[in-house]
Amino acid sequence: MSDAYDRELRALAKQTAAEQGCDSFLQEGVYCMLAGPTYETIAECRVLQTLGADAVGMSTIPEVVVARHCGLRVLGVSLITNKVVTDYDSDKKANHEEVLQTTKRRTQDLQRLITNFITKI
């Protein structure tokens, strides 16, 4: 699984994002999965950061593994909707309102990116 995500599809996604002006928030990184449906604990987030994770979610990984085992080319796209909290003394907590606000703010950009990307394939 060291090559789970297709290089050509990644390059095309980056090109598409640049063309529509949303490359400033398109990032590549290490995505980790934890079982949900809950927000990650502070301890989990600290461990994942130590391991090199850039993002964490409750899905994507199982689907990627199955797709690759079926011989499919894969591109993973995730809308990261909340920031990690790693300080036990912080007043900030992962919350559903933050997720909804981020989703609302980025939905049109993401829809446009996916639509334009698919037309190029």
> Is it the case that residue 101 has pLDDT exceeding 90?
yes
pLDDT of residue 26: 87
7-120 CATH choice from 3.40.50.1580, 3.30.70.260, 3.30.565.10, 3.40.366.10:
3.40.50.1580
- Dihedral angle sign, alpha carbons of residues 66, 69, 74, 76: positive
CB 1 within 8 A of CB 68: yes
Q: How many CB atoms lie within 10 A of CB 93?
A: 10
Q: Quick one: how far is CA 17 from the chain centroid?
A: 15
State how far the Cα of 38 lies from the Cα of 48, in Å rounded to an integer.
Answer: 16
pLDDT of residue 4: 94
List, for residues 28-53, the tens digit of each pLDDT value.
999 999 988 888 999 999 999 999 99
> Is it the case that residue 1 has pLDDT exceeding 80?
no
Q: Token pair for residue 98? A: 């933050």
Q: What is the mean pLDDT of the chain?
A: 92
> Is it the case that residue 64 has pLDDT exceeding 90?
yes
pLDDT of residue 11: 96
